[in-house]
């Protein structure tokens, strides 16, 4: 009888592969530890240098992959979190929400001219209440800008909630739909069926960071300034 691999077990259970890197805020936070962290990701960069968000520092949030994601995600099994053994994943609970609000208060005071939060390095929007919380934070913290990607599609409760916030946020909540069927504001893999046609018709662009046309997300900005679909060579 074939034994399942650790990855296969994680996929079946709907949890991260590296459970030893999952923590709750209630477990205790280090003196300077934050859930919303300054970016140290070489792909993202540390600061936006182009476009209307230029000058704003980039922050990141990492939740539990699969645990917070819809099983409909095309990358449920091959999530890049499978290769991120060192990333700390925070458990979604009320303690997390309270800590995130403290973090946002800190950044609002420190960066009143603007800061950008990338949602989510790992994980997704776990429920409608979490989406609504970001809507509240956008109202409470005028310096806050958000961009990222979600596997929740339009027509689902969470996907529709995300879309509603995006449309009402005056460009401050730029969340793209992964594998979205609409060319507008979607994020595709090069292997998605519609990607070649959208690229040919110039309704999509290949991620410039992946092709070496720009150094980081911060030096590009297309994911939050363009409505065209972005196509990732590897996702």
Spell out the long-range contacts of 165-174 with Cβ–Cβ below 8 A and sequence spacing 24 or more.
165/131, 165/134, 165/135, 165/138, 168/135, 169/135, 169/138, 171/52, 171/224, 172/138, 172/144, 172/145, 172/146, 173/134, 173/135, 173/138, 173/146, 173/147, 174/145, 174/146, 174/147, 174/148, 174/223, 174/224
CA distance 213 to 230: 14
Distance CA 54, CA 158 (A): 30
Indicate the pTM of the whole model.
Answer: 0.94
- The string of pLDDT tens digits covering residues 20-59 is 999 999 999 999 999 999 999 999 999 999 999 999 999 9
- Per-residue pLDDT of 50-91, as tens digits, reads 999 999 999 999 999 999 999 999 999 999 999 999 999 999
For residue 191, give both structure tokens. Answer: 């292997």
**Beta-carbon count within 10 A of 182 CB:** 12
The percent of residues in the chain predicted with pLDDT above 70, rounded, is 99
């Amino acid at each position: 009888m074939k034994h399942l691999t650790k990855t296969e077990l994680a996929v079946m259970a709907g949890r991260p592969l590296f459970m030893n890197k999952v923590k709750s805020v209630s477990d205790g936070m280090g003196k300077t530890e934050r859930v919303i962290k300054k970016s140290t990701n070489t792909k993202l960069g540390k600061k936006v240098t182009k476009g209307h968000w230029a000058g704003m520092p980039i922050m990141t949030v990492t939740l539990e992959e699969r645990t917070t994601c819809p099983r409909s995600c095309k990358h449920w099994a091959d999530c890049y979190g499978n290769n991120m053994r060192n990333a700390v994943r925070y458990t979604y609970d009320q303690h997390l929400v309270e800590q995130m609000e403290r973090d946002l208060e800190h950044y609002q005071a420190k960066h009143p001219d603007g800061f950008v939060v990338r949602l989510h390095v790992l994980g997704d929007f776990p429920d409608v209440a979490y989406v609504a919380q970001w809507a509240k934070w956008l109202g409470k913290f005028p310096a806050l800008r958000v961009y990222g990607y979600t596997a929740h599609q339009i027509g689902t409760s969470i996907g529709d909630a995300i879309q509603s916030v995006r449309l009402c946020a005056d460009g401050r909540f730029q969340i793209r739909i992964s594998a979205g069927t609409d060319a507008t504001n979607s994020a595709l893999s090069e292997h998605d069926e519609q990607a070649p046609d959208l690229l040919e018709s110039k309704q999509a662009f290949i991620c410039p960071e992946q092709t070496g046309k720009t150094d980081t997300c911060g030096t590009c900005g297309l994911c939050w300034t363009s409505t065209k679909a972005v196509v990732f060579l590897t996702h």
